[in-house]
Amino acid sequence: MELVFEYIEALESLILEYLPTIIVVAVIVGTYIFMNRPPPAARPPVKAAVKPTVSKVKAPKTTSNAPREKNGIKIFFGTQTRTAEDFSHILEKESKKIGIPCEVADLEGYDPEELKDESFVMFLVATHGEGDPTDNAKEFYLWLTSEDRVADLNGLPFTVFGLGNKTYEHYNSVARVMDKRLEDIGGKRVFERGEGDDDATLEEDFNHWKKKMWPVVCEYLGYELKATEEEKFVPRFRMINVDKDGRDIEESHVRIVSSNPVTKKSSDKKIIYDIKNPYLATVVENRELHGLESDRSCKHIEFDVGNNISYSTGDHLGIYPLNDSQLVQQLLQRLGVDGNHLFALVPRDKSGNIINASLGPMTLERAFTEHLDITNPPRKSVLKALSEYTADPSEKQRLLYLSSEDGNEEYNQFIKHDFRSIGEILSNFPGLKPPIGEFLELCPRLPARYYSISSSPNHKNGIISITSVVVNFHTPTQRFHNGVASTWLSNLKVGDKVPLFVRESHFRLPSQYYSSTTTTTTTTVTTTTTTTTPPPIIMVGPGTGLAPFRGFLQEIHHYQSSKSLEISESMLFFGCRSENVDYLYKQELVDYTDKGTLKDLTVAFSRQNSEKVYVQHKLLEHKEKVWNLLSQGAHFYVCGDARNMSKSVQQSLLSIIKEFGQKDENAAQKFIDDMSSSGRYLQDVWF
């Protein structure tokens, strides 16, 4: 190009004499510049997000392909169970080992308008429910997917890893939407999106992704790739012994304080209770729902929350349970520590007169009871770290093998399939003597458990109820395992306190049930009142899948009685083993049918007769009515098991649509997909 411009300057002195020649040369040069211009930024079509819908965006700005300055990496996590947060800190350690400055940040509280000013970002985000972002990522996700979001990231380098579960229909949809959206609004994807399956190989998926990711990121940022795997576990926290006032015993001038979240308040100054700040509710009822012939247990539990928490029918209740006291004492004894010992876990790189604790100040017994997950199988990274704390070479070798890639098959069998807890690991490896501080850091945190709310706020003011089946079973090692939350809940007494919060759900009745639907039209001749009748609903919920539908029926009855309005056709398909064993809320369902609140009740008994009958079979028995209601715009709801039941129900529905809608397989599936995108096909499922 420089030679071209020098040539043009040389021609200037002869311009009058050689004007025609100059014109020809100018055309040639202009053509050369145009043909060699930089290509515009890619602009692939934007796919709609599951929730919320993402519209097309403006064309992104053209950006340079050159790496930004070496200002380091910021890793954002969106998590419901802390796994994404734990993975983020693994990447942080590896990044710093390479020499890349790194910071881990919670998406909650981060100002997304600052995103364009970051140097390089990684997102580790989980998907829960029906394609929803986690609670701490919700605001950022809504900002990112906003319809008026323009291309303003100015070439921000990024990569994304998603944590999901293939049992669910919307597998890793949050990561997929964010990855696509970041590119569409001007970001530069440096490394391909990774996805982990929590139902099978989540940790392995993450390890494979980061192993391939680091060489690409190092080359992009201009760093020399170094081995990132830690040969030895390096703790991020240190344990401090404190007194009853929370002061460091060795340095009394240092005060340790709990890292309590900042209390959030609504516009009317009411405290907002959420996953980081649960409300301490009072148990007002805890009764058995199964019959005397049952060898299992299912509890109806009600909590008094007064006017401190509001909810809608279909929402979920998050509950923080307590670990079994006997298991806690066994672990404390095995580790050789006093449960009454007061401690705090603080970051190693923090100092000063006041230090925020990661855990504590509290007693060890309280930490093991309220905060540590001591029942689920430990991840490979935990086994690898524990290998440092045995003097037995054979134990060390065994733990290292179980945590290695070569040991995948044996890890899956010995740890995951056999459902070995951390306590069983300590029993199987008697030489293990981990320092209590390191053990506290390695042990995952006890996550909240979620339950479909089985009540309507209009039924009993200030009362929330759940329907909880008690989980217990023998593991392949013959250890009798009690479900942490369900067992604890089943033993609660009236007056006990429970930390809880509400998580909003999209599992909702048709909008007509939540708004005024009567309008009056007046003319010079007559006055008429037009009532918008809600569309029909079809509910499918075997076992505790009935829970949200109990709330639906309470809400419909409130609508029916308080507004004196007609309601549409409604069908409920409920499934249980037999009438005298586990027919949940039988009398309530019969009463609602007698009152006309529920128009059609069908029960599938799987153990009452010689032939096993399930809800998917009953759907086919009533296929003509189901199709007629679908043709009238019915909303179809499924609640319960995601692994088998929900898929079988969808297959029955596909069969009905094909037969009566005269559609082939693809057209029938599109019919369901269209129902889903319009909010008429909703699932609240779990595995």
CA angle 292-294-298, nearest 5°? 95
User: How many whole angstroms from its chain centre is CA 52?
Assistant: 15
Q: Are the C-beta atoms of 616 and 586 separated by less than 8 Å?
A: no
**Helix and strand totals (H; E) in the chain:** 20, 29
Residue 241 β-bridge partners: 343
Q: Are the C-beta atoms of 574 and 615 separated by less than 8 Å?
A: yes
Q: Which of 102, 298, 443, 639 is catalytic?
A: 639
Q: Which of 209, 214, 488, 686 is catalytic?
A: 686
Active site residue 266: no
Say how far apart CA 477 and CA 461 lie, in whole Å.
47
- For 571, which DSSP code? E
Q: Which of 135, 179, 248, 684 is catalytic?
A: 684
Say how far apart CA 501 and CA 532 lie, in whole Å.
34
Sheet with 316-319, strands from edge to edge, namely 449-452, 316-319, 497-503, 279-288, 298-304, 463-469
Q: Are the C-beta atoms of 670 and 656 separated by less than 8 Å?
A: no
Break the chain down into helix, strand, coil percent, rounded to 5: 35, 25, 40
Distances in whole angstroms, Cα of residue 562 to Cα of each of 466, 518, 552: 25, 13, 15
Q: Which two tokens stand for residue 349?
A: 């790189």
**Side chain identity, residue 585:** Y
Burial class (CB in 10 A: 0-12, 13-18, 19+), 114: exposed
Residue 571 β-bridge partners: 538, 600
Instruction: Find out whether the peptide bond into 52 is cis, omega within 30 degrees of 0.
Output: yes
Say how far apart CA 187 and CA 119 lie, in whole Å.
11
Active site residue 684: yes
Active site residue 511: no
Active site residue 245: no
What's the length of the chain?
687
Q: Which of 88, 95, 452, 490 is catalytic?
A: 452
Active site residues: 452, 639, 684, 686
